[in-house]
């Protein structure tokens, strides 16, 4: 049986960050029925990530596994861990990745799936995203079709994130899986949570606005 902790120095901060993210997401109803997964960087080569099937609102240190970025997934890992690993490998500045099945993200992602992106423009809360200083900025949140072949999905995500968005758009620190949910990230767990909360709130505002438009 795999031990939950390998011989890695000072793992506690990353584990605490993942547990806190799970509790916060559960409090908002964003991780129903063990949905979602959360991770935080331990060091340049390793992350701490939730195991498959764990109740994200009641995580303990034994539910958080350490995973080397260049090693095969440990038995019992979430298949979606590959999406986390690819982000960390491709973007060394990412310090945490959070994935939720929040209502706004799931619905907007499915509703806009054929378009392939959600455009954010004119919303004050956009300024909660790193580098955005005005509500007049135009941002893109990419949408990908959900896929049981997670390796292929991770490759498609990586290719698109490596491409510059069409001007004047800039890319938000997150993406949607159609009918599935939201992945958001940041330089650390605090920033990743701010991005996650801001994006989900923006999606809820978009849905509410559309319901009131004549």
pLDDT in tens, 106-138: 999 999 999 999 999 999 999 999 999 999 999
Band (pLDDT 50/70/90 cuts) for residue 6 is very low
Looking at residue 214, its pLDDT comes to 57
Please check the confidence at residue 12 and state whether its pLDDT lies above 90. no
| pLDDT tens sequence across 88-107 | 999 999 999 999 999 999 99
The structural domains of the chain, ordered by start, are: 12-212 (3.40.225.10)
Please check the confidence at residue 3 and state whether its pLDDT lies above 70. no
Where helices occur in the chain by DSSP H, the ranges are 12-27, 81-90, 103-111, 150-162, 189-212
Instruction: Report d(CA 7, CA 75) in Å as an integer.
Output: 18
Please check the confidence at residue 9 and state whether its pLDDT lies above 50. no
Q: Is there a contact between 53 and 79 (Cβ–Cβ < 8 Å)? A: no
Interval 133-156 mean pLDDT = 96
Instruction: Report d(CA 106, CA 26) in Å as an integer.
Output: 16
Instruction: Report d(CA 202, CA 140) in Å as an integer.
Output: 12
The two most distant CA atoms of the chain are separated, in Å, by 60
Interval 144-167 mean pLDDT = 95
Band (pLDDT 50/70/90 cuts) for residue 60 is very high
51 DSSP 8-state letter: B
């Amino acid at each position: 049986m795999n031990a939950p902790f390998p011989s890695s120095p000072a793992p506690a901060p990353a584990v605490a960050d993942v547990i806190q993210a799970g509790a916060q997401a559960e409090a908002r109803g964003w991780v129903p029925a063990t949905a979602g997964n959360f991770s935080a960087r331990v060091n340049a080569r390793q992350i701490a990530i939730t195991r498959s099937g764990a109740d994200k609102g009641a995580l303990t240190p034994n539910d958080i596994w350490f995973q080397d970025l260049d090693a095969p997934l440990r038995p019992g890992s979430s298949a979606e861990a590959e999406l986390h690993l690819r982000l960390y490998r491709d973007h060394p500045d990412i310090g945490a990745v959070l994935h939720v099945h929040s209502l706004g993200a799931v619905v907007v992602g499915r509703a806009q799936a054929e378009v392939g992106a959600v455009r954010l423009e004119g919303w004050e809360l956009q300024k909660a995203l790193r580098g955005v200083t005005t509500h007049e900025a135009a941002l893109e949140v990419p949408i990908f079709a959900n896929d049981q072949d997670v390796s292929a999905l991770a490759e498609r995500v990586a290719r698109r994130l490596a491409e510059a968005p069409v001007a004047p758009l800039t890319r938000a620190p997150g993406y949607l899986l159609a009918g599935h949910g939201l992945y958001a990230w940041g330089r650390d767990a605090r920033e990743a949570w701010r991005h996650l909360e801001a994006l989900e709130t923006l999606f809820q505002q978009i849905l509410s606005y559309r319901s009131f438009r004549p």
